[in-house]
Chains A and B, each alone.
Chain A
Protein backbone atom coordinates (compact mmCIF):
# COMPACT_ATOMS: atom_id res chain seq x y z
CA UNK A 1 0.00 0.00 0.00
CA UNK A 2 1.08 3.54 -0.70
CA UNK A 3 -0.38 6.94 -0.11
CA UNK A 4 -0.94 8.77 -3.37
CA UNK A 5 -1.44 12.52 -3.27
CA UNK A 6 -3.22 14.19 -6.13
CA UNK A 7 -4.95 17.42 -6.93
CA UNK A 8 -8.21 16.38 -8.55
CA UNK A 9 -10.38 19.06 -10.12
CA UNK A 10 -8.60 21.63 -7.99
CA UNK A 11 -9.00 19.76 -4.69
CA UNK A 12 -6.06 18.15 -2.86
CA UNK A 13 -6.70 14.49 -2.02
CA UNK A 14 -4.68 11.64 -0.52
CA UNK A 15 -5.68 8.01 -1.01
CA UNK A 16 -4.18 4.81 0.36
CA UNK A 17 -4.10 2.26 -2.43
CA UNK A 18 -2.35 -0.94 -3.46
CA UNK A 19 0.62 -0.21 -5.70
CA UNK A 20 -1.06 -2.05 -8.60
CA UNK A 21 -4.00 0.37 -8.58
CA UNK A 22 -4.62 2.21 -11.83
CA UNK A 23 -5.39 5.90 -11.88
CA UNK A 24 -8.87 5.25 -13.30
CA UNK A 25 -9.75 3.12 -10.27
CA UNK A 26 -8.57 5.77 -7.85
CA UNK A 27 -10.86 8.24 -9.58
CA UNK A 28 -13.88 5.94 -9.82
CA UNK A 29 -13.65 3.70 -6.77
CA UNK A 30 -11.89 5.86 -4.21
CA UNK A 31 -13.03 9.34 -5.17
CA UNK A 32 -16.43 8.34 -6.63
CA UNK A 33 -15.75 10.32 -9.79
CA UNK A 34 -17.56 7.83 -12.01
CA UNK A 35 -17.80 10.15 -15.00
CA UNK A 36 -14.48 8.71 -16.16
CA UNK A 37 -15.35 5.38 -17.75
CA UNK A 38 -13.57 2.09 -18.27
CA UNK A 39 -14.38 0.91 -21.78
CA UNK A 40 -11.92 -1.52 -23.29
CA UNK A 41 -9.35 -1.46 -20.46
CA UNK A 42 -6.66 -2.05 -23.11
CA UNK A 43 -5.73 1.59 -23.98
CA UNK A 44 -7.63 1.48 -27.26
CA UNK A 45 -11.01 3.13 -26.68
CA UNK A 46 -10.30 6.37 -24.80
CA UNK A 47 -13.37 6.28 -22.51
CA UNK A 48 -11.00 6.76 -19.55
CA UNK A 49 -9.17 9.86 -20.83
CA UNK A 50 -8.44 12.49 -18.17
CA UNK A 51 -5.97 15.36 -18.06
CA UNK A 52 -2.80 14.73 -16.05
CA UNK A 53 -0.83 17.94 -15.64
CA UNK A 54 -2.71 19.32 -18.62
CA UNK A 55 -2.16 16.35 -20.94
CA UNK A 56 -4.98 14.05 -22.07
CA UNK A 57 -3.95 10.50 -21.18
CA UNK A 58 -5.61 7.13 -20.75
CA UNK A 59 -6.14 6.68 -17.02
CA UNK A 60 -6.51 2.90 -17.46
CA UNK A 61 -2.88 2.78 -18.55
CA UNK A 62 -1.25 4.70 -15.73
CA UNK A 63 -0.55 3.53 -12.21
CA UNK A 64 -1.85 5.74 -9.43
CA UNK A 65 1.74 5.97 -8.20
CA UNK A 66 2.87 7.44 -11.52
CA UNK A 67 0.35 10.22 -10.99
CA UNK A 68 1.52 10.98 -7.43
CA UNK A 69 1.89 14.75 -7.10
CA UNK A 70 0.05 15.45 -10.35
CA UNK A 71 -2.88 17.68 -11.05
CA UNK A 72 -5.79 15.75 -12.56
CA UNK A 73 -8.84 17.12 -14.34
CA UNK A 74 -11.79 14.82 -15.00
CA UNK A 75 -15.08 15.37 -16.80
CA UNK A 76 -16.56 16.45 -13.45
CA UNK A 77 -14.06 19.32 -13.23
CA UNK A 78 -14.59 21.26 -16.44
CA UNK A 79 -17.99 22.97 -16.04
CA UNK A 80 -18.18 26.24 -14.13
CA UNK A 81 -21.00 25.53 -11.70
CA UNK A 82 -24.15 25.18 -13.79
CA UNK A 83 -22.45 26.51 -16.90
CA UNK A 84 -21.23 23.73 -19.15
CA UNK A 85 -17.72 23.85 -20.59
CA UNK A 86 -17.96 25.07 -24.21
CA UNK A 87 -16.99 21.55 -25.36
CA UNK A 88 -19.82 20.00 -23.34
CA UNK A 89 -22.26 22.58 -24.66
CA UNK A 90 -21.13 21.93 -28.24
CA UNK A 91 -21.61 18.17 -27.83
CA UNK A 92 -25.15 18.80 -26.56
CA UNK A 93 -26.02 21.31 -29.28
CA UNK A 94 -24.61 19.18 -32.12
CA UNK A 95 -26.08 15.93 -30.82
CA UNK A 96 -22.53 14.60 -30.46
CA UNK A 97 -23.59 11.67 -28.30
CA UNK A 98 -26.12 8.89 -28.19
CA UNK A 99 -25.51 6.39 -25.39
CA UNK A 100 -22.93 8.72 -23.84
CA UNK A 101 -20.48 6.06 -22.73
CA UNK A 102 -17.53 7.41 -24.73
CA UNK A 103 -18.49 11.05 -24.19
CA UNK A 104 -16.39 11.93 -21.12
CA UNK A 105 -13.25 10.62 -22.84
CA UNK A 106 -14.22 12.27 -26.13
CA UNK A 107 -14.67 15.61 -24.40
CA UNK A 108 -11.41 15.41 -22.44
CA UNK A 109 -9.49 14.44 -25.61
CA UNK A 110 -11.28 17.10 -27.63
CA UNK A 111 -10.39 19.88 -25.18
CA UNK A 112 -6.76 18.77 -25.42
CA UNK A 113 -6.96 18.81 -29.23
CA UNK A 114 -8.28 22.37 -29.23
CA UNK A 115 -5.59 23.45 -26.77
CA UNK A 116 -2.86 21.98 -28.97
CA UNK A 117 -4.16 23.21 -32.30
CA UNK A 118 -5.93 26.43 -31.35
CA UNK A 119 -7.37 28.03 -34.46
CA UNK A 120 -5.68 25.54 -36.80
CA UNK A 121 -8.42 22.92 -36.51
CA UNK A 122 -10.11 21.53 -39.57
CA UNK A 123 -12.26 18.45 -40.03
CA UNK A 124 -9.42 16.19 -41.18
CA UNK A 125 -7.30 17.16 -38.17
CA UNK A 126 -10.14 16.49 -35.73
CA UNK A 127 -10.80 13.09 -37.28
CA UNK A 128 -7.16 12.05 -37.15
CA UNK A 129 -6.65 13.41 -33.62
CA UNK A 130 -9.69 11.52 -32.33
CA UNK A 131 -8.30 8.16 -33.40
CA UNK A 132 -7.65 7.16 -29.79
CA UNK A 133 -11.31 7.56 -28.87
CA UNK A 134 -13.85 5.04 -30.09
CA UNK A 135 -17.60 5.68 -30.39
CA UNK A 136 -19.93 2.85 -31.33
CA UNK A 137 -23.11 4.95 -31.74
CA UNK A 138 -22.73 8.17 -33.63
CA UNK A 139 -20.57 7.39 -36.62
CA UNK A 140 -18.44 10.33 -35.44
CA UNK A 141 -19.99 12.96 -37.74
CA UNK A 142 -21.67 14.93 -34.98
CA UNK A 143 -18.72 14.50 -32.65
CA UNK A 144 -16.45 16.10 -35.25
CA UNK A 145 -18.99 18.89 -35.77
CA UNK A 146 -19.14 19.45 -32.02
CA UNK A 147 -15.35 19.69 -31.67
CA UNK A 148 -15.11 22.20 -34.53
CA UNK A 149 -17.98 24.21 -33.04
CA UNK A 150 -16.37 24.16 -29.61
CA UNK A 151 -13.00 25.22 -31.03
CA UNK A 152 -14.67 28.45 -32.15
CA UNK A 153 -16.47 28.90 -28.83
CA UNK A 154 -13.31 28.26 -26.81
CA UNK A 155 -11.46 30.89 -28.82
CA UNK A 156 -14.24 33.38 -28.12
CA UNK A 157 -14.40 32.54 -24.42
CA UNK A 158 -10.61 32.79 -24.12
CA UNK A 159 -10.68 36.18 -25.83
CA UNK A 160 -13.36 37.32 -23.38
CA UNK A 161 -11.31 36.33 -20.35
Chain B
Protein backbone atom coordinates (compact mmCIF):
# COMPACT_ATOMS: atom_id res chain seq x y z
CA UNK B 1 0.00 0.00 0.00
CA UNK B 2 1.23 3.48 -0.85
CA UNK B 3 1.46 6.16 1.81
CA UNK B 4 -1.81 7.76 2.80
CA UNK B 5 -3.20 9.90 5.58
CA UNK B 6 -5.97 8.45 7.72
CA UNK B 7 -8.74 10.59 9.19
CA UNK B 8 -11.58 9.44 11.38
CA UNK B 9 -14.62 11.65 10.86
CA UNK B 10 -17.08 12.09 13.70
CA UNK B 11 -19.87 13.53 11.57
CA UNK B 12 -20.98 13.62 7.94
CA UNK B 13 -20.25 17.36 7.81
CA UNK B 14 -16.74 16.82 9.12
CA UNK B 15 -16.16 14.05 6.58
CA UNK B 16 -17.31 16.33 3.74
CA UNK B 17 -15.07 19.14 4.94
CA UNK B 18 -12.05 16.81 5.25
CA UNK B 19 -12.71 15.66 1.70
CA UNK B 20 -12.70 19.25 0.49
CA UNK B 21 -9.29 19.87 2.06
CA UNK B 22 -7.64 16.79 0.54
CA UNK B 23 -6.19 16.45 -2.91
CA UNK B 24 -7.34 12.92 -3.75
CA UNK B 25 -9.33 11.55 -0.86
CA UNK B 26 -11.44 8.42 -0.65
CA UNK B 27 -14.15 7.66 1.85
CA UNK B 28 -13.58 4.48 3.84
CA UNK B 29 -16.53 2.64 5.37
CA UNK B 30 -15.91 -1.03 6.16
CA UNK B 31 -12.87 -1.14 3.90
CA UNK B 32 -13.56 -4.64 2.61
CA UNK B 33 -13.11 -3.47 -0.98
CA UNK B 34 -11.11 -0.25 -0.73
CA UNK B 35 -8.34 -1.67 1.46
CA UNK B 36 -7.66 -4.72 -0.78
CA UNK B 37 -7.60 -2.39 -3.79
CA UNK B 38 -5.16 -0.06 -2.00
CA UNK B 39 -3.00 -3.03 -1.00
CA UNK B 40 -2.80 -4.03 -4.67
CA UNK B 41 -1.76 -0.44 -5.39
CA UNK B 42 -4.70 -0.09 -7.79
CA UNK B 43 -5.86 2.88 -5.70
CA UNK B 44 -3.59 5.37 -3.98
CA UNK B 45 -5.71 8.00 -2.26
CA UNK B 46 -3.80 10.83 -0.60
CA UNK B 47 -6.24 10.63 2.30
CA UNK B 48 -8.74 8.09 3.55
CA UNK B 49 -11.66 9.49 5.49
CA UNK B 50 -13.19 6.88 7.77
CA UNK B 51 -17.00 7.03 7.94
CA UNK B 52 -17.28 3.84 9.96
CA UNK B 53 -17.61 5.44 13.38
CA UNK B 54 -20.10 8.18 12.50
CA UNK B 55 -23.14 7.64 14.73
CA UNK B 56 -25.65 9.26 12.37
CA UNK B 57 -24.68 6.68 9.71
CA UNK B 58 -25.51 3.68 11.90
CA UNK B 59 -28.73 1.79 12.37
CA UNK B 60 -32.03 0.71 10.86
CA UNK B 61 -35.43 2.38 11.08
CA UNK B 62 -38.81 0.97 10.11
CA UNK B 63 -41.47 3.62 9.73
CA UNK B 64 -44.78 2.62 8.16
CA UNK B 65 -43.98 1.08 4.79
CA UNK B 66 -40.40 2.35 4.59
CA UNK B 67 -37.33 0.52 5.82
CA UNK B 68 -34.32 2.81 6.11
CA UNK B 69 -30.83 1.41 6.52
CA UNK B 70 -28.15 3.95 7.40
CA UNK B 71 -25.12 3.83 5.13
CA UNK B 72 -22.42 2.61 7.54
CA UNK B 73 -24.52 -0.20 8.99
CA UNK B 74 -22.57 -3.43 8.59
CA UNK B 75 -23.89 -6.49 6.80
CA UNK B 76 -23.91 -8.36 10.10
CA UNK B 77 -26.00 -5.69 11.79
CA UNK B 78 -28.42 -5.67 8.84
CA UNK B 79 -28.65 -9.47 8.75
CA UNK B 80 -29.50 -9.71 12.45
CA UNK B 81 -31.78 -6.67 12.68
CA UNK B 82 -35.33 -7.51 13.77
CA UNK B 83 -36.94 -4.79 11.60
CA UNK B 84 -35.08 -5.97 8.48
CA UNK B 85 -36.08 -9.58 9.13
CA UNK B 86 -39.68 -8.55 9.65
CA UNK B 87 -40.12 -5.99 6.86
CA UNK B 88 -37.90 -7.33 4.06
CA UNK B 89 -36.54 -10.76 4.98
CA UNK B 90 -35.05 -11.05 1.46
CA UNK B 91 -32.55 -8.34 2.45
CA UNK B 92 -31.58 -10.26 5.57
CA UNK B 93 -31.10 -13.34 3.39
CA UNK B 94 -29.06 -11.43 0.80
CA UNK B 95 -26.80 -10.15 3.55
CA UNK B 96 -26.36 -13.65 4.99
CA UNK B 97 -24.93 -14.97 1.70
CA UNK B 98 -22.66 -11.99 1.11
CA UNK B 99 -18.94 -12.46 1.73
CA UNK B 100 -18.03 -14.50 4.81
CA UNK B 101 -18.71 -13.90 8.50
CA UNK B 102 -15.57 -11.78 9.05
CA UNK B 103 -16.32 -9.64 5.99
CA UNK B 104 -19.95 -9.23 7.11
CA UNK B 105 -18.77 -7.76 10.40
CA UNK B 106 -16.96 -4.95 8.55
CA UNK B 107 -18.60 -4.37 5.15
CA UNK B 108 -21.40 -1.82 4.86
CA UNK B 109 -24.40 -1.24 2.58
CA UNK B 110 -23.15 2.25 1.70
CA UNK B 111 -19.74 0.95 0.74
CA UNK B 112 -21.23 -1.76 -1.43
CA UNK B 113 -23.43 0.55 -3.48
CA UNK B 114 -20.88 3.37 -3.72
CA UNK B 115 -18.41 0.89 -5.19
CA UNK B 116 -21.07 -0.67 -7.48
CA UNK B 117 -19.10 -3.80 -8.31
CA UNK B 118 -20.87 -5.53 -11.22
CA UNK B 119 -21.18 -8.69 -9.12
CA UNK B 120 -22.12 -7.09 -5.79
CA UNK B 121 -25.38 -8.15 -4.16
CA UNK B 122 -26.87 -4.95 -2.77
CA UNK B 123 -27.25 -3.09 -6.09
CA UNK B 124 -29.73 -5.79 -7.17
CA UNK B 125 -31.81 -5.28 -4.01
CA UNK B 126 -31.93 -1.51 -4.46
CA UNK B 127 -32.89 -1.71 -8.12
CA UNK B 128 -35.55 -4.42 -7.69
CA UNK B 129 -37.12 -2.79 -4.64
CA UNK B 130 -37.09 0.70 -6.18
CA UNK B 131 -35.06 2.05 -3.28
CA UNK B 132 -33.95 5.64 -2.75
CA UNK B 133 -30.34 6.53 -1.98
CA UNK B 134 -30.05 9.44 0.47
CA UNK B 135 -26.87 11.48 0.40
CA UNK B 136 -25.66 14.55 2.27
CA UNK B 137 -26.89 16.58 -0.72
CA UNK B 138 -29.98 14.91 -2.20
CA UNK B 139 -32.11 11.82 -2.78
CA UNK B 140 -31.41 9.64 -5.81
CA UNK B 141 -33.70 6.85 -7.02
CA UNK B 142 -31.98 3.49 -7.54
CA UNK B 143 -33.01 3.71 -11.23
CA UNK B 144 -30.80 6.80 -11.57
CA UNK B 145 -28.05 5.79 -9.13
CA UNK B 146 -26.28 2.87 -10.83
CA UNK B 147 -24.48 4.06 -13.95
CA UNK B 148 -22.50 1.01 -15.08
CA UNK B 149 -19.33 -0.75 -13.92
CA UNK B 150 -18.05 0.77 -10.69
CA UNK B 151 -19.88 3.97 -11.61
CA UNK B 152 -22.68 5.74 -9.78
CA UNK B 153 -24.48 9.07 -9.86
CA UNK B 154 -22.48 10.23 -6.82
CA UNK B 155 -20.56 13.44 -7.30
CA UNK B 156 -17.06 13.95 -6.01
CA UNK B 157 -17.18 14.19 -2.24
CA UNK B 158 -20.87 13.29 -1.98
CA UNK B 159 -21.60 10.95 0.93
CA UNK B 160 -24.32 8.30 1.04
CA UNK B 161 -26.15 8.63 4.35
CA UNK B 162 -28.90 6.01 4.05
CA UNK B 163 -30.93 3.80 1.75
CA UNK B 164 -34.73 3.77 2.00
CA UNK B 165 -36.63 0.72 0.79
CA UNK B 166 -40.39 0.66 0.25
CA UNK B 167 -41.59 -2.50 2.00
CA UNK B 168 -42.73 -4.86 -0.80
CA UNK B 169 -45.59 -7.34 -0.82
CA UNK B 170 -43.14 -10.10 -1.75
CA UNK B 171 -39.42 -10.26 -2.40
CA UNK B 172 -36.73 -12.88 -2.86
CA UNK B 173 -33.04 -13.07 -3.71
CA UNK B 174 -31.04 -16.04 -4.91
CA UNK B 175 -27.56 -16.20 -6.28
CA UNK B 176 -25.07 -18.64 -7.67
CA UNK B 177 -22.10 -17.90 -5.46
CA UNK B 178 -18.58 -17.94 -6.74
CA UNK B 179 -17.11 -20.42 -4.28
CA UNK B 180 -13.84 -18.54 -3.71
CA UNK B 181 -14.77 -14.86 -3.93
CA UNK B 182 -18.35 -15.34 -2.68
CA UNK B 183 -19.45 -12.70 -5.16
CA UNK B 184 -22.48 -13.48 -7.30
CA UNK B 185 -21.64 -15.41 -10.45
CA UNK B 186 -25.17 -14.23 -11.09
CA UNK B 187 -27.78 -13.17 -8.56
CA UNK B 188 -31.40 -12.15 -9.09
CA UNK B 189 -33.63 -10.10 -6.80
CA UNK B 190 -37.38 -10.25 -7.49
CA UNK B 191 -39.94 -7.96 -5.89
CA UNK B 192 -43.67 -7.39 -6.07
CA UNK B 193 -44.65 -4.00 -4.72
CA UNK B 194 -47.76 -3.47 -2.64
CA UNK B 195 -49.40 -1.87 -5.69
CA UNK B 196 -48.73 -5.00 -7.75
CA UNK B 197 -45.77 -3.75 -9.80
CA UNK B 198 -43.09 -6.37 -10.45
CA UNK B 199 -39.40 -5.45 -10.56
CA UNK B 200 -36.55 -7.85 -11.22
CA UNK B 201 -32.84 -7.00 -11.08
CA UNK B 202 -29.83 -9.16 -11.89
CA UNK B 203 -26.26 -8.72 -10.70
CA UNK B 204 -23.12 -10.46 -11.89
CA UNK B 205 -24.68 -10.90 -15.32
CA UNK B 206 -24.35 -7.76 -17.43
CA UNK B 207 -21.18 -6.12 -18.68
CA UNK B 208 -22.79 -2.82 -17.63
CA UNK B 209 -23.40 -3.84 -14.03
CA UNK B 210 -26.70 -4.38 -12.29
CA UNK B 211 -29.68 -4.48 -14.68
CA UNK B 212 -33.46 -4.82 -14.74
CA UNK B 213 -34.84 -7.87 -16.56
CA UNK B 214 -38.02 -6.67 -18.34
CA UNK B 215 -38.89 -10.06 -19.92
CA UNK B 216 -39.02 -11.74 -16.52
CA UNK B 217 -40.88 -8.78 -15.02
CA UNK B 218 -43.61 -9.11 -17.67
CA UNK B 219 -43.91 -12.87 -17.13
CA UNK B 220 -44.18 -12.48 -13.36
CA UNK B 221 -46.62 -9.60 -13.64
CA UNK B 222 -48.95 -11.94 -15.55
CA UNK B 223 -48.36 -14.86 -13.20
CA UNK B 224 -46.22 -14.68 -10.05
CA UNK B 225 -44.81 -18.19 -10.06
CA UNK B 226 -41.47 -19.84 -10.94
CA UNK B 227 -43.09 -21.69 -13.86
CA UNK B 228 -44.14 -18.37 -15.43
CA UNK B 229 -40.46 -17.86 -16.28
CA UNK B 230 -40.10 -21.24 -18.05
CA UNK B 231 -40.80 -19.80 -21.47
CA UNK B 232 -38.76 -16.61 -21.09
CA UNK B 233 -35.60 -16.43 -23.13
CA UNK B 234 -32.72 -14.22 -21.95
CA UNK B 235 -30.26 -12.99 -24.55
CA UNK B 236 -26.55 -13.52 -23.89
CA UNK B 237 -25.75 -10.26 -25.70
CA UNK B 238 -23.89 -7.88 -23.42
CA UNK B 239 -23.51 -10.39 -20.62
CA UNK B 240 -20.25 -11.06 -18.81
CA UNK B 241 -18.09 -13.97 -19.92
CA UNK B 242 -14.98 -15.18 -18.12
CA UNK B 243 -13.28 -18.39 -16.99
CA UNK B 244 -16.07 -18.94 -14.49
CA UNK B 245 -18.93 -18.89 -16.97
CA UNK B 246 -19.85 -17.99 -20.53
CA UNK B 247 -22.40 -15.30 -21.39
CA UNK B 248 -24.87 -18.06 -22.37
CA UNK B 249 -24.35 -19.74 -19.00
CA UNK B 250 -25.03 -16.48 -17.20
CA UNK B 251 -28.13 -15.84 -19.36
CA UNK B 252 -29.47 -19.17 -18.17
CA UNK B 253 -28.50 -18.36 -14.58
CA UNK B 254 -30.58 -15.17 -14.72
CA UNK B 255 -33.61 -17.32 -15.45
CA UNK B 256 -32.85 -20.05 -12.93
CA UNK B 257 -31.95 -17.65 -10.13
CA UNK B 258 -35.14 -15.64 -10.84
CA UNK B 259 -37.19 -18.83 -10.55
CA UNK B 260 -35.53 -19.74 -7.26
CA UNK B 261 -36.00 -16.19 -5.98
CA UNK B 262 -39.73 -16.28 -6.77
CA UNK B 263 -40.00 -19.64 -5.02
CA UNK B 264 -38.20 -18.18 -2.00
CA UNK B 265 -40.42 -15.09 -2.01
CA UNK B 266 -43.53 -17.28 -1.91
Contacts and interface: CB of A to CB of B under 8 A. Distances in A.
B57 to A, nearest CB: 15
A19 B182 contact: no
Interface in B81-114: 99-103, 105-106
Contacts, number: 76
Contact of B101 (A18, A43, A66, A109): A109
B3 A20 contact: yes
Task: Classify the secondary structure of B's interface with A.
Answer: mixed
Contacts of B38: 20
Contacts of A42: 36, 39
Interface in B1-39: 1-6, 8, 28, 31-32, 35-36, 38-39
Contact of B36 (A18, A56, A57, A61): A61
Contact of B31 (A2, A61, A113): A61
Nearest to A4: B6
A61 B35 contact: yes
A41 interface: yes
7 contacts: A22-B35, A42-B39, A55-B76, A56-B102, A61-B31, A66-B6, A66-B31
Given A22-B1, A55-B76, A57-B102, 19 more contacts: A19-B3, A19-B4, A19-B5, A20-B38, A43-B36, A44-B180, A46-B100, A56-B102, A58-B102, A58-B106, A61-B35, A61-B103, A62-B31, A62-B106, A63-B31, A65-B6, A66-B8, A109-B101, A131-B100
Output the residue of A41, A65, A129 with the most chain B CB within 10 A.
A65
B101 A132 contact: yes
A27 to B, nearest CB: 15
Interface string B163-200: 00000000000000000111000000000000000000
B76 A43 contact: no
Contacts of B48: 19, 63
Q: Is the interface of A mostly helix, strand, loop or mixed?
A: mixed
Interface in B39-80: 39, 48, 50, 52, 76
Given A19-B5, A55-B76, A65 B103 contact: no
B6 A56 contact: no
Contact of B52 (A44, A66, A129, A131): A66
Contacts of A2: 6
Closest 10 CB pairs of A and B: A132-B100, A65-B6, A19-B6, A55-B105, A20-B1, A58-B102, A132-B102, A131-B100, A57-B102, A61-B35
B100 to A, nearest CB: 3
Given A63-B48, A65-B50, A43 B6 contact: no
Contacts of B180: 44
B182 A18 contact: no
B95 to A, nearest CB: 14
Contacts of A66: 6, 8, 28, 31, 50, 52
A90 interface: no
